[in-house]
Amino acid sequence: MTGFSSSELDAYATTFERDGMVLLKQHFPKATLAAWRAAFEPLLRARIMSGTTAVRGDNRHYITLPFTGVFADESIFCDPGILGIVERVAGEDPVMCQLATDTPLKGSTHQDVHRDTPPLFDDQPETPSFQLAVNFPLCDVSLENGPFETTLGTHRMRPDEAMSAYREGRAGLHAIPMELGDVMIRDVRALHRGTPNNTDEPRPMVVIGYSRSWYFRPEVHIDVPVDLDQRLSPRAKRLLRHMPRVAELDALPAAEAYKKFAY
Ligand SMILES: O=C(O)CCC(=O)C(=O)O
């Protein structure tokens, strides 16, 4: 974890306002993410076998992570640098409502360019940020294994304006190669797409969803086991305040409920 000064956090927030995203280079320790990767591999196999992923295109799977073991890591989801940026762009006292992964496999294709949420208000200018994705890969991401591609600045445009800007070449797509340890924070309204993974190795990308304090996303949730809840810090409890507490996690998770992801 890299600590940032207040002025560095302000500078990230300014870049975020302009671009709709920031990239934090080498923010998380590679060893921590290697442990996530090792825990994720059997989960990916099991969830594909049981047909319980949300399919986001050919050979592309969305899977919620169980909030336990290495995945329930406060050094990741309570990272002060990331939360400092989240609070600057989406307000004080945010909520955490999503802990999941996007994994293209060999045979995946280009997604249609999309945003992940509709505007808050129809026929009104776009609002400040209310829904953020914090993404970090569990492997290096090159041009070969499916880099995320995004436009810059379209998070502040209405959907039709953003699509015109993209189609007319005023808002082009940028591939975002990432090294293990890099972190991207993005406004999910920016137009983007997943690209093909042309290698034999899966390309898991974690997504932690943080939202403005009053925003509710019924399509996602994190089950927090009660015994683990008792050990959480006050900061973690506060972030997870609207998430259900459960006696124990399901051994065989049900199919993902988060189906509509592109607007
Ligand atoms: O995994 C990726 O690279 C992008 C996935 C994505 O944008 C989505 O499924 O909404």
| Residues 194, 109 contacting (CB under 8 angstroms) | no
| pLDDT tens figures, 186-206 | 999 999 999 999 999 999 999
Pocket test for ligand 1, best of 110, 112, 134, 192 (most atoms within 8 A of CB): 192
Is the model's pLDDT at 49 over the cut of 70? yes
Is the model's pLDDT at 2 over the cut of 60? no
| pLDDT tens figures, 202-222 | 999 999 999 999 999 999 999
Q: What is the sign, positive or negative, of the torsion defined by CA atoms of 3, 102, 97, 119?
A: positive
| Residues 100, 52 contacting (CB under 8 angstroms) | no
- Does pTM top 0.85 for this prediction? yes
Find the 231 Cα to ligand 1 centroid distance in Å: 33
225 φ, ψ (degrees, to nearest 5) = -60, 140
Is the model's pLDDT at 246 over the cut of 70? yes
SS3 labels along 76-127:
HHCCHHHHHHHHHHHCCCCEEEEEEEEEECECCCCCCCECCCCCCCCCCCCC
Q: List domains and CATH numbers for the chain.
A: 6-246 (2.60.120.620)
Pocket test for ligand 1, best of 61, 62, 98, 102 (most atoms within 8 A of CB): 102
**pLDDT-based confidence at 1, cuts 50/70/90?**
very low
Residue 261 CB-density burial (10 A; 0-12 exposed, 13-18 middle, 19+ buried) = middle
